[in-house]
Amino acid sequence: MPDTPALLVIDVQQSFLRAPYWREDDVPVFRENLLKLIDAAAARGWPVVRILHEDGDAHFTAASGLVKPMAWVPDAHDVVFHKQVHNAFTGTSLESWLRERGIGRVIISGIRTEQCCETTARVASDLCFAVDYVTEATLTFPMVHAGSGSHYDAKDIKQRTELVLDGRFARIRTVDEVLADH
């Protein structure tokens, strides 16, 4: 079991469907890649860890009824953690849950590439977990820089995220590479 990774499925929740920046453009490819990862993890006996974000923001409150997985996400999971900050470790028992099971590698997937997924990867690395960052199984949305007005599309943001993570905090992997590695 020491070589068994855990798949972290971060914030793939209905709250995003109400966010003003929500776009469907990249969802089909994201969904296909994430489902392939979840199905493979379940078939191989890798723990699937569902993480949901809950805070005081309108659609991210428990009272909204939207802090639940998107309808297309399979029920296959071993544990659920609710987080209140960007990373999945701070304020949750995720680290101890992983260590109790002898898990030293995490596979990062979910929403948003440059926020909760990237932040979780950085913290996991700082906690001495090996990190596989599967960018094609993450989702993000275009952004505009508040100061300069520069526009960044989702592809730009994903490339920047890979740039700052690769070799420092994570190995950047495709779904197929992760599945071939383990």
Amino acid at 61: T
CATH value at residue 29: 3.40.50.850
**Does some domain include residue 158?**
yes
**Does some domain include residue 80?**
yes
Tokens of 94: 């995720």
For the chain, how many structural domains are there in total? 1
First to last CA, the chain: 12
The residues near 47 (Cβ < 8 Å, ≥ 6 apart) are: 4, 6, 7, 41, 78, 79, 101, 103
As a whole number of angstroms, the distance between CA 63 and CA 59 comes to: 8
Residue span of the structural domain in which 167 resides: 6-178
**Does some domain include residue 112?**
yes
**Does some domain include residue 31?**
yes
**Does some domain include residue 132?**
yes
**Does some domain include residue 48?**
yes
Q: Block means of pLDDT (10 residues each) for the chain, length 182 residues?
A: 85 96 96 98 97 93 95 96 98 98 98 98 98 98 95 97 98 97 82
**Please, are residues 5 and 46 in contact by the beta-carbon 8 Å criterion?**
yes
The pLDDT of residue 2: 54
**Does some domain include residue 1?**
no
Tokens of 80: 């659920």
Q: Using alpha carbons only, give the angle 124, 27, 63 rounded to the nearest 5 degrees.
A: 70
The pLDDT of residue 1: 44
The number of beta carbons lying within 10 Å of the beta carbon of residue 39 is 13
**Does some domain include residue 154?**
yes
As a whole number of angstroms, the distance between CA 84 and CA 87 comes to: 8
